[in-house]
Structure 1
């Protein structure tokens, strides 16, 4: 259950204007970041949540727990925000729900953001964070990687880099409405959360002087064979829905075990409001169950 349960129409009416203010291409990214951090104060944390601050891959990070944990498994969670905004603070509630559902520590690195640090800074930081977890004793196949939106794209790009550069395969990928091809221009102007001018500004800021066809920047363009079991979630009304369908088709063509859940009536990364809205809590629990099964393969209860 969510900590409280706002009716969906009420939640949408409250959140829509907030998103319109925060994700405004006319605002400096520094201002957007501050607004997001302030807005995170309204997200309730599950009872028993513990937040520890540490360094991970030479970057600040948070380690989140919310109840009993297994020392053998963990999740590396890469937050969304168009590679330009967002932080462990903005995604603390979502990380805590996953920590509670899986029964493990969830590590959320504060990776560098564009435009100050364009591609591949975020990917370099994600790689360093994963390798640091391995160095501290976690087996690569007992680390799941998850993320939302840009963090979902970053999770996929990280899995490709780990495969190609280190021969590592994480336990699983959990991708919430992943932005896997920033080159793609949405047909519609906006959904409840994201608008086209803002997303194009983020894509340009993150690319900088890089190659837009580099799979590190647009992992949907890469070769996806050999990836771990992957779970993708998206709402049918969001701008990234069609891109998620393309990703699923490509994963399946590459022989990757992949599952897809479509929601109706939610919004882009509604999982961040899992402690406020019961339908968002339900789909977040499903993600947690998928990751728990991958991290603890002897337990075979199906998600749902």
Structure 2
């Protein structure tokens, strides 16, 4: 572990995790996340970001020296309650810089104002909108982190069933099982640097709105329970000590050929900290190689 990772671990345990444990108001949580991103995460030089729409869904187009390599459709994390294309602009821009692809980040609707299945409906509409704009499925890569990583996987299952599978999928610490049955929710409860596991039942209730906990098995919300006929290449990163570790590992049961890579004692969605963590930069190097490889046939066509 790098010295930077050790410093971040200490800060997370003393500051970030206690703050998330106390935070009950989604609006306040959103504002806090936006402030953190604005003050702590740097956008790489040469980045261009422009608002846009796809399928009626607003979003943000991000590029950094694009070379017509395709489009990464990135779904931000935030437990379906917070986060936005702006909080994830630095990460999206870094992916664009490393791959030559453009990134489109849909601004999907958030709970509790817009409970399930609003986020999924927006995700599918945005993808269909990109196809209507002339992008082929082979030129698109789905990606996301945490809840956004689960959302992208749920969309991937739907697209495989529709015969519109993209070139690939990348997930950072995806939340894939809102039935909350993963063993690491318990075994890593004291080790996770960021997420307070005891809050997940409360968060799930806000996501579901008037639905019942049994509805959490819906594959549009829990892709661990989805089918993936003829899936494209899949790459998933997770940390050994995070509570969502098993949400990533158990996807092997649905995607036997997926590349699932475990890092060590790192915070949830550590690639966002690429400005600070060498481990984050290593993960993004690996991710960029994967994205360039799955988009290579399209780039050469």
Task: Compute the TM-score of the two structures, normalised by the length of structure 2.
Answer: 0.90
Select the residue among 103, 114, 117 that pairs with 1:117.
Answer: 114
Return 5+ residue gaps in structure 1 as ranges: none
1:1-304 to structure 2, matched below 5 A, reads 7-20=4-17, 22-24=19-21, 26-41=23-38, 42-70=40-68, 73-164=70-161, 166-185=162-181, 186-187=185-186, 188-190=188-190, 191-210=192-211, 211-252=215-256, 257-297=257-297
Between the aligned partners of 2:50 and 2:15, the Cα distance in structure 1 is 28
Deviations 1:46-78 (A, max 9, x none): 1211111122332321111122331x6101000
Structure 2 vs 1, CA of residues 133 and 22 (structure 1 numbering), >3 Å: closer, same or farther?
farther
Contact 2:240 2:264 in 1 (8 A): yes
Between the aligned partners of 1:132 and 1:250, the Cα distance in structure 2 is 27
Between the aligned partners of 1:203 and 1:293, the Cα distance in structure 2 is 36
Deviation at 1:18, TM superposition (A): 4.4
Between the aligned partners of 2:297 and 2:274, the Cα distance in structure 1 is 26
Deviations 1:210-254 (A, max 9, x none): 3222111111012223221100101101111122111123311xx
Contact 1:44 1:276 in 2 (8 A): no
Deviation at 1:21, TM superposition (A): 5.2
Q: Aligned to 1:212, what secondary structure does the other structure show?
A: helix
Contact 1:93 1:275 in 2 (8 A): no
Q: Aligned to 2:255, what secondary structure does the other structure show?
A: helix
Q: Aligned to 1:199, what secondary structure does the other structure show?
A: helix
Structure 2 vs 1, CA of residues 59 and 278 (structure 1 numbering), >3 Å: closer, same or farther?
same
Q: Counting helix residues as a fraction of each chain, which structure ranks higher?
A: 2
Between the aligned partners of 1:88 and 1:18, the Cα distance in structure 2 is 24
Between the aligned partners of 1:298 and 1:288, the Cα distance in structure 2 is 16
Q: Aligned to 1:111, what secondary structure does the other structure show?
A: coil
Structure 2 vs 1, CA of residues 22 and 167 (structure 1 numbering), >3 Å: closer, same or farther?
farther
* Matched positions, count: 290
Structure 2 vs 1, CA of residues 140 and 203 (structure 1 numbering), >3 Å: closer, same or farther?
same
Q: Aligned to 1:130, what secondary structure does the other structure show?
A: helix
Deviation at 1:89, TM superposition (A): 1.3
Divergent runs of 4+, >3 A:
14-18, 297-300
Contact 1:46 1:275 in 2 (8 A): no
Between the aligned partners of 2:132 and 2:108, the Cα distance in structure 1 is 19
Contact 2:70 2:299 in 1 (8 A): no
